[in-house]
């Protein structure tokens, strides 16, 4: 009689999915992360191609900005989500180099896969990678080629902004970099550490070309003034968050009216009260009133009679920014503001840009707390992409206030770092040396990707770069403008050409990419519970065809 072994009860509820071991968990995770890295890899650098993404709301995005691509792709794989989180952390911390985080983390995991296949244990790889990335951060500090510490000088600012814009909008950097520099210089406080990214605004107006873009000291709103008054100079500004209208009671009442006189007298008191309130405001010398809510027809009639310009700003965030730009205090009820609650603006006017009517708050004085870059372009997608490039340029300035050091760009810093790490690996005993060596090789992904995206022979470029760096030319990088048979062999000295990267941004990218890769490698089991909810209802889109 055969011995029957009873089926043991599982520790988990029915429907759980349980994957474990190198093949089922680790390699699966690595494949998912490298797939995500490959998607954004082709968008890296000035020659990076655009992605056309349609999100779940059917909104169209055409961009090469990795932060936007990753945000709009609905990544569901848990390991790939770790890479998404790392790139979002980079965006929050530095505002740029999000693509570097994703492709470096993907490459580190791809190299780890090679080591796993030759029999190394995950813990050995993790230990080696930890040693390598701490050493890489130490060595990176020694590769600084200069500092941009005087952020009040426009030429210094432009030196850092130029490559950041070039990597996003190759060909327009000569237009956008001076615009961003001009806007940042206009709002730069006495202490550069107090610089706020929010001080530089972007307004996108369709039509014209990028070359028609301009900087305005102050704020621009994409709507015209409500009344007949369209311009005010040396104006006191009052800002209200409440509607400019006859106040409504919370309760409803019924009034019985017997004749026409009663009808006329009924609304007279309310009108008189509103007129008195608005006359009081006018007596304080206010020439411009901004409201965050609606404007009643009667209130507008009185405002026109008093010669006051009225503007509606429906965004509470823009209202706060306008308060900062004019020095006003937002008031919650209609009434005469006190002297310290009033703002001041040199010129407030409604102008026509293209076929759009805009209201401009312009400060003619030397300093302004807000500057606006008015971007022009042929399509909405193009304007959105230009705005992303401007944001990266402004974030570069913010990053410089944290760490002013710069390193050579065009993949030069990465190859030098890889070369130094390989010499560290050669002196390291034990199994760690294999992981350190692979970490160094993973850094080659930057020049390799730049060369591939520029249509050059990546393997040849990387070997030539190693030879140049070995000969002491430590700032030689990929020359993306090189033709196939050029004498320079696709290489150029990055620093004299002004192609530099922020040391702080690169250090954070290496740190976050390494952390993400290590987190994925440390996972040895995937346990997924059954999704909640009943069976999915079958969609029948053509139910009314008959």
90: domain CATH number is 1.10.560.10
- Of 72-86, 99-113, 183-197, 512-526, which gets the smallest average pLDDT? 183-197
pLDDT in tens, 223-242: 777 878 788 888 888 888 88
In 10 A of CB 483, how many CB atoms? Answer: 11
What is the Cα 23 distance to its own chain's centre? 37
Percent of the chain with pLDDT over 90: 0
- Tell me, yes or no, whether 295 and 371 share the same domain: yes
pLDDT in tens, 307-351: 888 888 888 888 888 888 888 888 887 777 787 888 888 888 888
Residue from 334, 323, 284, 293 nearest 311 by CA = 293
Checking DSSP bridges between strand 330-331 and strand 231-240, what pairing results, if any?
Answer: parallel
Question: How high is the pLDDT of residue 483?
Answer: 64
- Tell me, yes or no, whether 388 and 415 share the same domain: no
Question: Does pLDDT of 437 surpass 70?
Answer: yes
- Tell me, yes or no, whether 373 and 439 share the same domain: no
- Tell me, yes or no, whether 24 and 106 share the same domain: yes
Looking at the domain assignment, is residue 198 inside a domain?
Answer: no
Looking at the domain assignment, is residue 76 inside a domain?
Answer: yes
Q: Are 287 and 309 in contact (CB under 8 A)?
A: yes
Question: Does pLDDT of 484 surpass 70?
Answer: no
Looking at the domain assignment, is residue 5 inside a domain?
Answer: no
- Tell me, yes or no, whether 352 and 421 share the same domain: no
Reported as a pLDDT band with limits 50, 70 and 90, residue 485 is very low
pLDDT in tens, 29-78: 888 888 888 888 888 888 888 888 888 888 888 888 888 888 888 888 88
Structure-model confidence comparison of residues 49 and 541, the more confident one = 49
- Tell me, yes or no, whether 129 and 74 share the same domain: yes
Domain that holds residue 328: 215-248+257-402
Most confident of 151-155, 160-164, 221-225, 536-540: 160-164
- Tell me, yes or no, whether 370 and 419 share the same domain: no
Q: How far is residue 431's CA from residue 435's CA, in Å, rounded to a whole number?
A: 7
pLDDT in tens, 271-301: 777 777 788 888 888 888 888 887 877 878 8
Tell me what the pLDDT averaged over the chain comes to.
81
Q: How far is residue 86's CA from residue 516's CA, in Å, rounded to a whole number?
A: 6
Sheet holding 405-408, edge to edge: 146-147, 405-408, 500-502
Looking at the domain assignment, is residue 164 inside a domain?
Answer: no
Question: How high is the pLDDT of residue 366?
Answer: 54
- Tell me, yes or no, whether 386 and 473 share the same domain: no
| Six token digits for residue 517 | 């890769």
Reported as a pLDDT band with limits 50, 70 and 90, residue 16 is low
Looking at the domain assignment, is residue 538 inside a domain?
Answer: no
Last residue of a domain, which of 402, 430, 461?
402
Last residue of a domain, which of 352, 370, 402?
402
Strands (E) in 354-444, as ranges, are 356-362, 371-377, 405-408
Looking at the domain assignment, is residue 155 inside a domain?
Answer: no
Question: Does pLDDT of 256 surpass 50?
Answer: yes
- Tell me, yes or no, whether 393 and 500 share the same domain: no
- Tell me, yes or no, whether 287 and 419 share the same domain: no
Mean pLDDT to the nearest integer, 396-414: 85
- Tell me, yes or no, whether 324 and 439 share the same domain: no
In 10 A of CB 135, how many CB atoms? Answer: 19
Helix (H) or strand (E) holding 117: helix 98-117
Mean pLDDT to the nearest integer, 471-492: 73
- Tell me, yes or no, whether 412 and 394 share the same domain: no
Mean pLDDT to the nearest integer, 475-484: 76
The domain tally of the chain equals: 2
pLDDT in tens, 345-390: 888 888 887 777 888 888 876 567 788 888 888 888 888 888 888 8
Alpha helices of 284-370 — where are they, by DSSP H?
297-306, 316-326
Looking at the domain assignment, is residue 334 inside a domain?
Answer: yes
As beta bridge partners, residue 312 has: 291
Q: Are 410 and 216 in contact (CB under 8 A)?
A: no
Looking at the domain assignment, is residue 47 inside a domain?
Answer: yes
Last residue of a domain, which of 402, 435, 470?
402
CA distances to 22, 110, 135, 432 from 121, rounded to whole Å, are 9, 15, 22, 11
Q: What is the CATH number of the domain that holds 283?
A: 3.50.7.10
């Amino acid at each position: 009689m055969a011995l029957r072994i009873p089926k043991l009860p599982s520790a988990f509820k029915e429907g759980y999915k349980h994957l474990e071991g190198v093949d089922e968990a680790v390699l699966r995770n690595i494949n998912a992360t490298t797939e995500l890295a490959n998607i954004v890899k082709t968008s890296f650098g000035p020659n990076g191609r655009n992605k056309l993404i349609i999100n779940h709301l059917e909104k169209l995005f055409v961009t090469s900005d990795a932060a936007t691509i990753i945000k709009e792709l609905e990544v569901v794989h848990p390991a790939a989500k770790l890479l998404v989180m790392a790139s979002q952390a980079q965006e929050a911390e530095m505002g740029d180099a999000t693509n570097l985080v994703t492709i470096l983390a993907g490459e580190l995991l791809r190299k780890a896969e090679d080591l796993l296949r030759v029999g190394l244990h995950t813990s050995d790889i993790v230990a080696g990678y930890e040693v390598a990335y701490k050493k890489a951060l130490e060595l990176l500090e020694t590769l600084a080629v200069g500092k941009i510490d005087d952020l009040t000088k426009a030429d210094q600012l432009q030196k850092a902004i130029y490559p950041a814009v070039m990597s996003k909008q190759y060909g327009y950097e000569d237009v956008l970099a001076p615009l961003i520099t001009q806007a940042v210089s206009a709002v730069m406080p006495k202490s550069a550490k107090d610089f706020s990214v929010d001080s530089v605004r972007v307004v996108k107006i369709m039509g014209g070309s990028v070359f028609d873009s301009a900087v305005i000291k102050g704020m621009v709103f994409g709507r015209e003034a409500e009344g007949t008054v369209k311009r005010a100079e040396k104006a006191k500004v009052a800002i209200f968050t409440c509607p400019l209208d006859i106040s409504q009671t919370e309760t409803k009442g019924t009034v019985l009216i017997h004749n026409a006189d009663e009808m006329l007298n009924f609304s007279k008191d309310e009108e008189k009260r509103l007129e008195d309130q608005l006359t009081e405001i006018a007596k304080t010398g206010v020439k411009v009133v901004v409201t965050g809510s609606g404007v009643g027809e009667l209130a507008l009639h009185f405002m026109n009679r008093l010669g006051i310009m009225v503007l509606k700003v429906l965004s509470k965030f823009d209202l706060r920014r306008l308060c900062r730009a004019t020095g006003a205090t937002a008031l919650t009820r209609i009434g005469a503001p006190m002297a310290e609650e009033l703002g001041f603006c040199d010129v407030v006017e409604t102008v026509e840009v293209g076929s759009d009517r805009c209201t401009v708050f312009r400060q003619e004085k030397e300093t302004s707390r807000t500057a606006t870059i008015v971007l022009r372009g042929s399509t909405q997608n193009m304007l959105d992409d230009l705005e992303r490039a401007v944001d990266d340029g402004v974030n570069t300035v913010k990053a410089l206030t944290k760490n002013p050091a710069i390193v050579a760009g065009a993949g030069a810093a990465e190859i030098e770092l890889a070369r130094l790490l390989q010499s560290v690996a050669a002196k390291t005993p034990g199994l760690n040396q294999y992981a350190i060596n692979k970490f160094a090789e993973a850094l080659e992904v930057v020049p390799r990707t730049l060369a591939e995206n520029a249509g050059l022979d990546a393997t040849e470029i990387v070997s030539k770069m190693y030879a140049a760096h070995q000969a002491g030319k430590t700032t030689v990088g990929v020359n993306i403008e090189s033709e196939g048979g050029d004498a320079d062999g696709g290489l150029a000295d990055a620093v004299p050409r002004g192609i530099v990267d922020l040391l702080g941004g690169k250090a954070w990218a290496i740190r976050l990419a390494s952390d993400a890769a290590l987190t994925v490698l440390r996972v040895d089991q995937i346990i997924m519970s059954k999704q909640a909810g009943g069976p999915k209802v079958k969609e029948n889109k053509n139910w009314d065809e008959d």
